Amino acid sequence: MTSSRKNKTIYIDKEAASVLELVSEGLLSPVTKLMNEQESKEVLQTGLVNGQSFPFPFILAPSGKKNEKIIPTLEPDEEVTIICNGKEFAVLRVEETFQIDPKERVKHIYGTDDLTHPGVMATIKRIGTWALSGNYTIINKTKHKNKIKIQKAKELIGAKHTSSLMMGVNPLHRAHERLIRQTLENTDLLVIFLLKPYDNANLKYEIRKEALEYFINNFLPKNRVIIIPLENSYIFAGYNEIIVDAIVAKNYGCDRLTIGRNHAGLGMFYDCNSNKSIIDKVTGIDIEITVASEYVYCDECKTLVSKNTCPHGQHHQISYHADSILALLEAGLLPPAVLIRKEISSFLLSKLFPNRFKNLEKLYYDTFPVKGLLEEHTEKDFYLELMKLYQTTSLT
């Protein structure tokens, strides 16, 4: 299939393009194409594709006046060029076009169409009323390097088991570290899928990745942990997120997936005299899903503990809420080391507030004990030394 600008064109954004790439790379298998209307109805009725769990129809219904005008005119077997960011992205051979209800679509993804729900408003703006189905080919597709990276890492250490974590580490805090260590205890290789969201309510991906790499390179056996970027598009939102996580992890070559107990999609329900979660509904995905403990700092135990093993109750426990820790950092405050490793918080503050101090060297030499030698110091060095003073107890 070749591209031609003589074809009719439809327009999508980068988020939709990332999802089309996942299917093209075999990462949402058994889905291989955009579903037609009958296939969509079957998924809604059964929750299955070829006997395997899949949470909602895989369709393309882009919003926009041009798309709404073009899609209804497309004929079966016609080729249409898909444009993303002004460039030819893919060519689709049309199977059929059909109308959808955008509100129903977001219900299938999020479990609600309430516009006050986080994500619903942003997603419904991106969905049109016409969908198109068929096979497509990505133009100028490159070989998927991340699958190869994981396979090489397996071969290097002779891994029998490969576990996975889906993480935002926004920012990387002590409970994240404990979860990573705990998962690594029971596997040969750990793949951390580092999420790349499409909004600005996060530390930049590059900053989060550098912080995570620092932790891996300095405090873990680094040949047993690899980071894989994962575009955190709308399909990973909502109450079905765990199913999509499991599908992607399995198709990347992982045989285990660990999720946190406070995972947004874990929601428990009562059935047949026992507590169950969405994990109990997963069918046909050959991957072991483990729910990790929730970790807290206990001021009686004086350490990071699992809520399952700490007897002291919530009034003695500090929970790790990434959004609150990020709020401290964004306010320019250095979080206590009990919340986030001092090397990490120092690095993050130096990135969030570059060139913060007018005369850093004077402030450094006036504030900290020095060896008497004139040395250059970075803002990260300053925060590290400042944390040492915070931890001094002789006058407290």
Helix (H), strand (E), coil (C) string for the chain: CCCCCCCEEEEECHHHHHHHHHHHCCCCCCCCCECCHHHHHHHHHHCEECCEECCCCCCEEECCHHHHHHHHHCCCCCEEEEEECCEEEEEEEEEEEEECCHHHHHHHHHCCCCCCCCCHHHHHCCEEEEEEEEEEEECCCCCCHHHHHHHHHHHHHCCCCEEEEEECCCCCCHHHHHHHHHHHHCCCEEEEEEEECCCCCCCCHHHHHHHHHHHHHHHCCHHHEEEEEEECCHHHCCCCHHHHHHHHHHHCCCCEEEEECCCCCCCCEEECCEEECHHHHCCCCCCEEEEECCEEEECCCCEEEECCCCCCCHHHEEECCHHHHHHHHHCCCCCCCCCCCHHHHHHHHHHHCCCCCCCHHHHHHHHCCCCCCCCCCCHHHHHHHHHHHHCCCCCC
**pLDDT computed for residue 198 by the predictor:** 80
Q: Is the pLDDT of residue 102 over 70?
A: yes
Q: How many CB atoms lie within 10 A of CB 30?
A: 15
Q: State the CB neighbour count (10 A cutoff) for residue 111.
A: 16
Domain 145-296 is in which class?
Answer: alpha beta
Q: What is the mean pLDDT of residues 42-62?
A: 95
Mean predicted confidence (pLDDT) in 49-54: 95
Residue 100 predicted with pLDDT over 50:
yes
Asked whether residue 142 carries a pLDDT value surpassing 80, the answer given is no
Q: For residue 271, is pLDDT > 90?
A: no
Residue 280: its pLDDT value, please? Answer: 72
Q: Quote the pLDDT of residue 301.
A: 95
Beta bridge partners of 226: 191
Contact 36, 98 (CB under 8 A): yes
**Is 273's pLDDT higher than 80?**
no
Distance (Å, whole) CA 349 – CA 352: 5
* Cβ atoms 232, 198 nearer than 8 A: yes
- What is the number of residues in the chain? 396
> What's the pLDDT tens digit per position in 171-198?
999 999 999 999 999 999 999 999 998 8
Q: Phi and psi dihedrals of 319, rounded to 5?
A: -85, 160
Q: Give the position of tokens 């999509």.
A: 244
Q: At residue 61, what are phi and psi to the nearest 5 degrees? A: -135, 75
Dump pLDDT digits (tens) for 317-351. Answer: 999 999 999 999 999 999 999 999 999 999 999 99
Mean pLDDT of the chain: 91
Is 9-138 a CATH 3.30.420.40 domain?
Answer: no
Cβ atoms of 128 and 102 within 8 Å: the answer is yes
Residue 159 above 80 pLDDT? yes
Range(s) for CATH 3.40.50.620 in the chain? 145-296
The answer on pLDDT for 270 being more than 50 is no
The first and second tokens of residue 102, run together, are 């955008």
Percent of all residues in the chain with a pLDDT value above 70, rounded to a whole number: 93
Q: Tokens for 126, please give them.
A: 């991106």
How far apart are alpha carbons 351 and 348 in whole angstroms? Answer: 5
Question: Is the four-CA dihedral 243, 162, 263, 18 of positive or negative sign?
Answer: negative
Question: 57-89 burial, b for 16+ CB within 10 Å, e for fewer?
Answer: bbbbbbbeeebeebbeebeeebbbbbbbeeebb
Longest dimension (CA), the chain: 79
Question: Which residue intervals of the chain bear CATH 3.10.400.10?
Answer: 9-138
On the 0-12 / 13-18 / 19+ scale of CB atoms within 10 A, 218 is: exposed
- The pLDDT of residue 372: 65
- Residue 58 in tokens: 């895989």
Rounded to two decimals, what is the model's pTM? 0.91
Between 163 and 267, the higher pLDDT residue: 163
